[in-house]
């Protein structure tokens, strides 16, 4: 992993010193080497902060140019099939000066153009300056593991791994995007093609952007086209469950083996759940004496999964490390906001950040089980939605929607069962509801005094992206994959790990596994009314010890509701709320959520989101 930054200007001017200062804001992403290409005549700059993982020599440094000096690349990520591509390119006459995956992409682009993206297996965000075609190409991996922000204003393009450097170029970029703001407080993250700032955007996962240096026009296209491929009618299952399990075992083994390859030591994040335990078990086929890490909450037994992680560690004889996290200071939120220059509301950022810090003291790379739930149907809400969908046939949609409006007007926020009524009011034929429990439009009207909020219109959703997918579980899992996973969980992992100069890899997000899961695997082997993560649990029964409980579900999390009952956390949240701008935040309504103890656990994540956003506003001082 690394950090990239660049621009192509037209009328404006940014000095090399200003550019260098902006690039330093990405130092945590790549402390091993800094590289800058700055062309004052063309007004094009490319900057790179390197975290050296493959080919640690100076030969792997970036920006990297092809032999003609006409094509230049800056790249963040890892390509796991680069050796295969390198051999193929060598047969076509390419000479290589390094052993890096970056040069394989560069030479591949010179030979195949943008079609190189179809051949890549890995995680990546890249920028390529192509003076032959007079264009800049930005591209992002299929899952969204690596971030890429950009801004196009007045025929000029700016791009970066994070938002901070872009904000340093112009204070005008700090204007809040109202629709992204509302989406954030509804879904816990901003939309996949936007940022919290009006004139800064994200390149969507699986997409490529081309910017013409002559016409100053841009074009974005979906190079993976997975949504339309899933929407195609599936053939009836051609295989048996044992054969599907065998295929997945082989694919996962191949993915883990390739992701264990690095020129530095590799660790594994082990929570003790199905996904991370499978990763550890299969990784042990390829490496002896693995290093595993977990979080321990000795004072909060309900959240302490360390004994399950230790069970797996002992079975596979790993060098196991436990991070004791029972005592956490709430002030950690202020440290986190520097790295989350685009806010999101998942409170598991805290253990992820702390664990990354511990791992990074000895390792540069770690492997996680991210993606297993979204790709293979692991969340309890899949069962719930299937049951509600079945019952919805007995009650017309308009009646269900009226019941929901009545529920919202009568039941307080955090009241048990209120969310179920909201879900039951969904149009199950075409939609996929917002499963996260934050604030709908009317609730946002209560907690904010922000006059620019448009509470009369529906908050941006996901349904335009997946409504053509008829199979309900396929629609649900793919929506979670390209929204919740990409814009929440992978954002959390990227920012927390990169804050500590640590690369985290996710074998479940391998291209072959994704296409197997979304295009080949029948949805009834993911989830049904009474089961979920069906094929992974069958694989777990095959490869994990017989004593392992395949029905457990727990990731790296913290006992947030319990912490808010403690004096230091409660007082910190209260103080932050009172410090916030009363022109934006309704102190009375928010404090009522904090001080209603009988619903504090139900509203804990909502309160975390609000306070995290308050800390973020205090640091970045956006323009409302």
- 605 lies in some domain: no
pLDDT at 463: 59
Q: How far is CA 596 from CA 37, 409, 593, 601, in A?
A: 56, 18, 6, 10
Angle (CA) 416 422 428, round 5°:
135
Task: Output the six-digit token pair for 568.
Answer: 């230091």
150: domain CATH number is: 3.60.20.10
Task: Output the six-digit token pair for 262.
Answer: 């690095």
Judge whether 581 and 614 are in contact, CB under 8 Å.
no
Q: Are residues 191 and 83 in the same domain?
A: yes
CB-CB neighbours of 90 under 10 Å: 12
Distance CA 289, CA 380 (A): 34
- The residue from 499, 520, 543 where one domain ends is 543
pTM: 0.94
- 58 lies in some domain: yes
Q: Are residues 241 and 351 in the same domain?
A: yes
pLDDT digits (tens, 9 = 90+) for 173-200: 999 999 999 999 999 999 999 999 999 9
In angstroms and rounded to an integer, the radius of gyration of the C-alpha atoms of the chain is 24
- 424 lies in some domain: no
Banded model confidence at residue 326, pLDDT cuts 50, 70, 90: low
- 132 lies in some domain: yes
Residue range(s) defining the domain that contains residue 353: 235-375+474-543
How much of the chain exceeds pLDDT 70, in percent? 95
Q: Are residues 171 and 256 in the same domain?
A: no
Q: What is the count of structural domains for the chain?
A: 2
Q: Are residues 317 and 365 in the same domain?
A: yes
pLDDT digits (tens, 9 = 90+) for 214-238: 999 999 999 999 998 998 877 666 7
pLDDT at 230: 93
- The residue from 484, 518, 543 where one domain ends is 543
pLDDT digits (tens, 9 = 90+) for 403-445: 999 998 899 888 889 999 999 999 998 888 888 879 988 889 8
pLDDT at 456: 57
Distance CA 270, CA 216 (A): 48
Highest mean predicted confidence (pLDDT) among 292-306, 461-475, 589-603: 589-603
- The residue from 543, 572, 595 where one domain ends is 543
pLDDT higher than threshold 70 for residue 119: yes
């Amino acid at each position: 992993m690394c950090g990239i930054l660049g621009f192509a200007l037209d009328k404006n001017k940014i000095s090399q010193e200003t550019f260098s200062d902006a690039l330093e804001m990405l130092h945590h992403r790549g402390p091993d080497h800094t590289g800058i290409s700055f062309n004052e005549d063309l007004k094009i700059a490319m900057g790179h902060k390197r975290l050296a993982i493959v080919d640690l020599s100076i030969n792997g440094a970036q920006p990297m140019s092809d032999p003609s000096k006409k094509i230049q690349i800056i790249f963040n990520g890892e390509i796991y099939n680069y050796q295969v591509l390198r051999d193929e390119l060598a047969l076509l006459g390419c000479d290589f000066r390094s052993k890096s995956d970056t040069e394989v992409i560069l030479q591949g682009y010179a030979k195949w153009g943008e079609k190189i993206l179809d051949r890549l297996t890995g995680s990546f965000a890249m920028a390529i300056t192509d003076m032959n075609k007079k264009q800049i190409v930005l591209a992002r991996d299929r899952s969204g593991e690596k971030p890429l922000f950009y801004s196009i204003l007045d025929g000029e393009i700016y791009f970066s791994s994070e938002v901070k450097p872009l904000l340093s170029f112009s204070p005008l970029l700090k204007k809040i995007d109202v629709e992204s703001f509302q989406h954030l407080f509804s879904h816990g993250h901003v939309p996949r093609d936007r940022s919290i700032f009006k004139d800064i955007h994200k390149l969507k996962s699986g997409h490529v952007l081309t910017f013409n240096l002559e016409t100053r026009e841009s074009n974005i296209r979906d190079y993976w086209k997975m949504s339309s491929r899933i929407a195609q009618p599936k053939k009836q299952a051609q295989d048996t469950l044992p054969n599907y399990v065998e295929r997945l075992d082989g694919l996962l083994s191949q993915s883990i083996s390739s992701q264990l390859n690095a020129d530095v030591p590799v660790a594994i994040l082990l929570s003790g759940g199905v996904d991370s335990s499978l990763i550890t078990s299969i990784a042990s086929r390829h490496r002896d004496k693995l290093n595993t890490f977990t979080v321990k909450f000795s004072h909060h037994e309900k959240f302490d999964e360390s004994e399950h992680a230790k069970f797996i560690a002992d079975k596979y004889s790993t060098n196991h490390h436990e991070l004791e996290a029972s005592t956490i200071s709430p002030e950690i939120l202020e440290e986190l906001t520097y790295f989350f220059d685009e806010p999101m509301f998942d409170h598991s950022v805290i253990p992820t950040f702390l664990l990354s810090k511990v791992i990074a003291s000895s390792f540069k790379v770690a492997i996680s089980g991210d993606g297993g739930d979204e790709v293979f149907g692991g969340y309890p809400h899949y069962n719930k939605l299937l049951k509600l969908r079945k019952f919805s046939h007995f009650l017309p949609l308009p009646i269900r929607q009226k019941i929901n409006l009545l529920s919202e007007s009568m039941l307080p926020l955090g009241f048990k069962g209120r969310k179920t009524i909201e879900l039951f009011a969904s149009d199950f034929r075409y939609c996929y509801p917002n499963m996260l429990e934050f604030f709908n439009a009317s609730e946002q009207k209560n907690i904010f005094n922000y006059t620019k909020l448009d509470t009369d219109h529906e908050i941006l959703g996901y349904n335009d992206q997946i409504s053509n997918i008829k199979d309900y579980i396929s629609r649900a899992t793919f929506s979670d994959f390209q929204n919740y996973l990409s814009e929440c969980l992978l954002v959390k992992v990227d920012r927390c790990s990169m804050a500590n100069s640590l690369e985290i890899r996710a074998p479940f997000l391998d291209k072959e596994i994704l296409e197997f899961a979304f295009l080949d695997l029948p949805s009834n082997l993911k989830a049904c009314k009474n089961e979920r993560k069906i094929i992974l649990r069958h694989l777990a029964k095959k490869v994990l010890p017989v004593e392992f409980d395949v029905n457990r579900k727990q990731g790296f999390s913290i006992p947030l509701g319990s912490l808010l009952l403690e004096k230091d956390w409660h007082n910190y949240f209260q103080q932050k709320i009172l410090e916030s701008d009363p022109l934006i935040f309704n102190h009375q309504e928010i404090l009522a959520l904090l001080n209603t103890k009988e619903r504090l656990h139900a509203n804990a994540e909502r309160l975390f989101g609000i306070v995290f956003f308050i800390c973020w506003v205090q640091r970045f001082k956006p323009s409302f």
